[in-house]
Structure 1
Amino acid sequence: MAPSLSEFHKELSSLTTMNQTTAKAAIARDAVLTKPAGSLGELETLATWLSGWQGKHPPSCDRPQIVVFAGNHGVCDQGISAFPQEVTVQMVANFEHGGAAINQLALAFGASFSVQALELENPTADFTQAPAMSEAECAEALSAGWNSIDKGTDILVVGEMGIGNTTVAAALSAALMGGTGADWAGPGTGVSAEGINRKAAVIDAGLSRHESVLDDPLRILQCLGGREIAAMAGAILSARQKHIPVLLDGFVATAAAAVLFKANEQALDHCYAGHVSAEPGHKKLLQAMNKEPLLSLGMRLGEGSGAALALAIVKGAVATHTGMASFADAGVSAEKPD
C-alpha cells in the first residue's frame, strides 16, 4: 500500500512519551556525583533528557547516526538562489566521497553517515504555480525519512542539501508561524539584498496561492516544501516513535521539525536544538518552538553540520554522567560545612 498523509497524521496523534523511570534514575545519579548541585549546567539536563527518551539508564551516545537528504526545487526557476541546481548533484557526490564538512564531523564524533538523494532529476514543482508535491510524492518523501534510521541508533542528526531550500524553509516558516516573506527570507547561500527581496516576493506568491491549506501543517509541507524537507520531518517523527533523541540542525532542518510541532506541540519533546545558525529566520523559528540552542557559532552551512558539532556536547554529558564517581565512591563528604 502506498503511504498517505493520513498515516502520518495518525502517528502525530499518538506520540510516544518520555520514560519517567529512567529520567528519574538520571536525576538521582546526578544528585550524588562529586560536584556541587547544578554545577554542570546544561550537561545535567542533557543526561536526563537522553536517559528519558532512550528509555534506559545510564544513557549512551555510542551510536550516533547522521543522515543527509538531498532534493531539488522547482521554485529555483524564480531566480532565488546564487547557485544552479546542478550543485545539489555535485555535493551529493562530494558527500559520497567523504569530502564535505559533515563527513569530517561524523568522523570526529564517531557517527555513522549516509546521504539519500531524492529524485534530483525531478525537482518539485514551482510552488508559486502549483503544489510543490502531490500528496503521494510528499508521503513518499516522509516515508523515505521514516525508514532511514539504522537499527541501534542512540541519537539522530538529520541534515539536508538542496539549492534553493532556504527559500522553501522560509515559506514553510511563514505559513506555519505567520508573517510575510520579508519576515523570514534571508541570504541563504549568499544572495544580495535585492535577492532577499526577490525571495520574499516569491514566498508571498506561494502563500497566496496555497492560502486554502494553511490550517493543515502536512498539506503546507506538501504545497510549499521539498522532498528533503519532508524526509527530515519523517525521520524526526520516526525517531520519536522509536525512542531515539534528535539533535536539530539549522534553519532548513528546523523548518522540517516545525511542521511536526504545528501538528502537535509535543512532537519535538525528544529534540534538542544543536545550534542556532546565522540565517536570520532560524533564531525566530527556535523561539517560536521554545527551543534553546546548545551552540551559536555563526554557522550557516546546513548538511547537519551544526547539530553534528553538538554531538561533542552530548558526548560530554554522557561521559560526566556515567564516568564520575559518587561522593560515596570517592570518599568525599557530600555535606556542606556549617
Structure 2
Amino acid sequence: MSLPDLNDPALAARLRHLIDHKTKPLGALGRIESLALQIGLVLGTESPLLSQPQLVVFAGDHGLAARGVSAYPSDVTWQMVENFLAGGAAVSVLARQHGLALTVVDCGVRHDFAPRPGLLVRKVAPGTADALEGPAMTPAQCRQAIEAGRGVVAGLPGNALLLGEMGIGNTSAAALLLARLTGSDLADCVGSGTGLDEAGLARKREVLRQVLERHPLASEPLDALAAFGGFEVAAMVGAVLEAAARRRLVVVDGFIATAAVLVARALEPRVTQRCVFSHRSGECGHGLMLRHLGPDERTPARALLDLDLRLGEGSGAALAWPLLVSACALLREMATFESAGVARSG
C-alpha cells in the first residue's frame, strides 16, 4: 500500500496562520518556520511534540572493503560498535546530551557481540560479498535486511527516528547507488570517505568504476541495492519505509543514510515528506544526492546544517535535533500578537 499524501491544505493553512501571528515579523524565524510547518504536517497537529526520539545506528561490513576503498580496515566496524555501546563514540555523547535513546543494530558485522542492553542482533550474514565478484547481497538477503529494519522501527516507541550507520566501505556503496539510480557521473559521486589520500581516492574510483561495469543490469532500486550493498543500508531503507508508514518524523544523517532514503523514495515517493535532512555532508556526493531528493527537478532538498561533517554514526542528526525541538516549542508556546497584547506593524 502506498503512503498517504501529507499535503493537507487545511492543516497547512492553520499552521501557517499560527506561525505568522506569533510575536515576530513575518518570516523572521527563517527556516525554523518551515521546519515547524513540516513537523506539524508529519505529526498531523498544530501543537507538535516530539516524544521518545530513537537514534538507531545500523552496522554492517562490506566485502568490497578488501579492495582498499577505505582508509581503515574492516575491523574498525565491530570496534566502533563496541565503542557505541560503551558510550565513548561521538554519537553516544550526543545521544546522552540530547536525551536520545540509542540503539545499535548488527545487520551484518563480521564479529559476534555479547548480548547487552542497547544492542539488537539482526545479522543477515557476516558482511556482504565482494561486489566486484558478484552481487553484494542475494535478493533474499536484501529483503531480509529491509524487513529487519522495518521490524526494528516497529518495536521502538516514539514519533521520531534519527538514522545512523557504521560500516567500513559504506561510502562506496552509497556512491554506487547514487551513480546508478540517478545516472550521475561516478566521479561526481565518489569522495574520500574516512580520509583517503589522492592515491587512495584514485584507487577507490577505479574499483567502483569496475563494480558499476560488473552490474550493468542492476538498474531497478532493489536490484541496485542488492548489487552494491550493504546490509546496514538495506536495513535503513526498511527503517525509513516503516517510520514513514507509522507517520514518524525521520531525521536523516549524512551521505550513507541519505543513500538509503534515495532507495526508499524510489520505492515510495512520499517518504521524503516525512524526512528532515539534518546536514549537508563534507562527502562530495552528498550535495548531488540532495539535489535529486528535492520536491522537483529545480529544487534540491535543503539540509539544516552545513558544517563539513563526514563522520556518520547519526552524529549530524543528533547535532540538528535541538533545532527540531525548538521549532516545535516555538509553535506550541510562543505568544501571538493578540494573546500578548502586542501591536502589529502597519
SS at match of 1:243: coil
State how many pairs are aligned. 323
Residue 188 of structure 2 contacts residue 284 of structure 2 at CA under 8 Å; is this kept in 1? no
Q: What's 1:257 paired with?
A: 261
SS at match of 2:80: helix
Residue 94 of structure 1 contacts residue 100 of structure 1 at CA under 8 Å; is this kept in 2? yes
Q: Deviation string for 1:182-224 (max 9, x for gaps)?
A: 221111111111111111111111111111121x111111111
Residue 165 of structure 2 contacts residue 256 of structure 2 at CA under 8 Å; is this kept in 1? yes
What does 1:136-175 correspond to in 2, within 5 Å?
136-149=140-153, 150-175=155-180
Give the drift of 1:66.
0.4
Equivalent residue for 1:135, pick from 128, 136, 139: 139
SS at match of 1:211: coil
Q: What's 2:5 paired with?
A: 17
Q: What's 1:5 paired with?
A: none
Give the drift of 1:24.
3.4
Q: What's 1:205 paired with?
A: 210
Residue 65 of structure 1 contacts residue 156 of structure 1 at CA under 8 Å; is this kept in 2? yes
Give the drift of 1:26.
1.9
For residue 257 of structure 1, what is the amino acid of its counterpart? Answer: V
SS at match of 2:176: helix
Q: Deviation string for 1:137-194 (max 9, x for gaps)?
A: 1111111111222544222111100011111111111111123432211111111111
Equivalent residue for 1:48, pick from 33, 37, 42: 37
Give the drift of 1:19.
6.2
For residue 62 of structure 1, what is the amino acid of its counterpart? Answer: S
Q: Deviation string for 1:44-88 (max 9, x for gaps)?
A: 111111111112231112322100000000001211111111111
SS at match of 2:266: helix
Q: What's 2:117 paired with?
A: none
Q: What's 2:271 paired with?
A: 267
For residue 331 of structure 1, what is the amino acid of its counterpart? Answer: G
Q: What's 1:110 paired with?
A: 99
Q: What's 1:66 paired with?
A: 55
Residue 19 of structure 1 contacts residue 55 of structure 1 at CA under 8 Å; is this kept in 2? no
- Residue ranges of structure 1 left out of the alignment (5+ in a row): 1-10
SS at match of 2:304: strand
**Cα-Cα RMSD:** 1.5
CA distance in 1, matches of 2:72, 2:185: 24
Q: What's 1:312 paired with?
A: 322
1:220 aligns with 2:209: no
SS at match of 2:55: strand
For residue 273 of structure 1, what is the amino acid of its counterpart? Answer: F
Equivalent residue for 1:294, pick from 284, 290, 304: 304
Identity %: 41
What does 1:67-86 correspond to in 2, within 5 Å?
67-86=56-75
CA distance in 2, matches of 1:242, 1:272: 16
- What is the TM-score with the length of structure 1 in the denominator? 0.92
CA distance in 2, matches of 1:274, 1:154: 17
Q: What's 1:233 paired with?
A: 237
SS at match of 1:147: helix
Residue 180 of structure 1 contacts residue 200 of structure 1 at CA under 8 Å; is this kept in 2? no
Residue 23 of structure 1 contacts residue 48 of structure 1 at CA under 8 Å; is this kept in 2? yes
Q: What's 1:57 paired with?
A: 46
CA distance in 2, matches of 1:119, 1:148: 15
Pair 1:24–1:109, CA change in 2 (3 A): farther
1:98 aligns with 2:103: no
Q: What's 1:278 paired with?
A: 282
